A and B are shown apart, each in its own frame.
Chain A
Amino acid sequence: MTGSGPVAGATAEVVEVTGTGPIGPYTLLRVAAGGIEPGIPGQFFMLHPPGHVLPRPMSLCRVDGGELCFLIDAIGPGTRTLCALKAGERLHVLGPLGNGFDLDVPHPLIVGGGIGIAPFPYVAQVLGGGPAILGFRSAHHAEAAALLPGAEVALDPVLVTSLLPAEPMDVLACGPEPMLEAVRARAPQAQLAWEAPMACGYGACYGCVVEVDGRLQRLCVAGPVLRAA
């Protein structure tokens, strides 16, 4: 584990925003990495939207030279503030946090739905490519598939699970809960990246619990990537 600062494995730093840009309906936010390590794909970072009380969890989407990129869907006040940041503004970032994907698998297959594609460009960077199936609500949303060249794309009402190959693959999935449940039913060995509202991201608040093995556990500590079965 690397990282410096009070949370083991993570670094807390105020970094500079280097720019933002639209990708379909989403925004790609770029920040100077500073001393922050990108970590393992599927781990996450807490980004603190200026003026808000709490930070927001975000997956690292891509590493470009000295920049960390986050793909953000503006669904509420915090994500809207993050997407409206301008180059030169400062942002408090803590991470990497949680457990990422185990990429040491023989046949990785990326399965992403909507904003759930966010962690996969970095997964593909680390894997050096690999097959991907992505599902989107509309052609406008599917513009984000450009982040994963070569990916197979399903548009509503076609479901990503209908494109899963017959032969067993090591599925790495992130997306809306119904999609993850459908993937879980098809691929018990899959690694699924879940979401929950989080206040701290490092095990302090007990706000992010989800049911794992029949018990309510903190997703930021036990996950966000969990084995399907």
Chain B
Amino acid sequence: MSVSLLNGSGCLDALTAPGVAAQLDAFVTKTITPEPREGNPPVRIVETEAGMLNSIGLQGPGIDAFLTETLPRLAAQHLRVWVSVGGFSSSDYAGICERLEERDDVDVVELNLSCPNVDEAPESAAEIVAACRERTKARLYAKLSPANSDIAESARAVVAAGADGLTLVNTLRGMALDPATLKPRLARAFGGYSGPALKPVALACVLACARAVDVPIVGLGGVQSGQDALELIAAGASVVSLGTILFTDPAAPGRIRDELKCEATARGYGDPLEVRGVANG
């Protein structure tokens, strides 16, 4: 057993880049919503000093076309598929979970409880998880926002509500201004901040949650190298996901897997997973 590497939801399309997805241990879909969504108007992405902002706005086919068109094509690529689920109320999330329940080609359902680019459901994360738990036996991971003031408390609540694992973290809300006009560069002004700047935030969230609950944690946020991945594992992650780095380096999964092994070996560990929790001492 070694560390699994996944992609962050929304950071890879396995249908247009099958060769990138093939390097991963499982493919995480872009967040699926009940209805098709056109997403936000462009400009949707901007680079900042130590990261990037995105305001994609959950562009996607909706659950019907996902089940009839996307999922069979992903299955034909022999990928282990994690489906990221989003919505605007707990019944949206639960409804999609119920639709996915009939499918045996879905490995994990990841509940995106934290997209900064769309309006949030009025219910708490735990209420959404509980509503989904009633409708599915699938493994449920809760993806939480790093903007949460007490993420350990959220982690306890979603696990008590039936989450089998956590994905930490989603993006932070941010904004960039055009230096000349001082107007927002993104059409929607706000976007989700990802990339290197997020790494310390992700490390803190993973450690806080690893202390609070005993479930598997997918760590992501700013991972660029095997060293970054090893640090997330030391903080308590057992799976690591790659987001923004895939945009610059589509060969990152293979590279980071190799680097991770070397970094662990250099510190006297036989397997990177032996590092899990070392930071929590």
Chain A residues close to B by CB (< 8 Å): 5-8, 12, 46, 48, 52-55, 77-78, 92, 94, 196-200, 202-210, 215-216, 218, 221
Between A and B, 22 residue pairs with Cβ closer than 8 Å are A6-B22, A7-B17, A7-B19, A53-B47, A54-B52, A54-B244, A78-B47, A92-B249, A94-B250, A197-B42, A197-B44, A199-B47, A200-B250, A202-B20, A202-B250, A203-B16, A203-B17, A204-B12, A204-B20, A204-B246, A205-B10, A218-B16
Minimal Cβ-Cβ distance residue in B for A78: B47
Residue in B closest to A9 when the chains form the complex, CB atoms:
B19
> A residues within 8 A CB of B215?
none
Give me 8 other A-B pairs in contact (C-beta within 8 A), A197-B42, A199-B54 excluded.
A7-B17, A77-B47, A78-B47, A203-B13, A204-B17, A205-B10, A207-B56, A216-B39
Contacts of B52 in A (CB 8 A): 53-54, 199
Q: How many residues of B contact A (CB 8 A)?
A: 37
Across chains A and B, which 8 residue pairs bring their CB atoms closest together, nearest first? Answer: A203-B16, A207-B45, A6-B19, A200-B247, A6-B20, A199-B247, A6-B250, A54-B47
A6-B251 in contact (CB<8A): yes
Q: Contact at B54–A55, with CB atoms within 8 Å?
A: no
Q: Which residues of B contact A (CB under 8 A)?
A: 10-13, 16-20, 22-23, 30, 38-39, 42-48, 50-52, 54, 56, 59, 195-196, 244, 246-251, 254
When distances are taken between beta carbons in the complex, the residues of chain B under 8 Å from A204 are 11-13, 16-17, 20, 246-247, 250
Report the bound CA distance from A215 to B41 in whole Å: 11
State the CA gap A55–B247 with chains docked (Å): 8
Chain A contacts for B247, CB-based, 8 A:
54-55, 199-200, 204-205
Cβ contact of A53, chosen from B42, B44, B248, B254, cutoff 8 A: B248
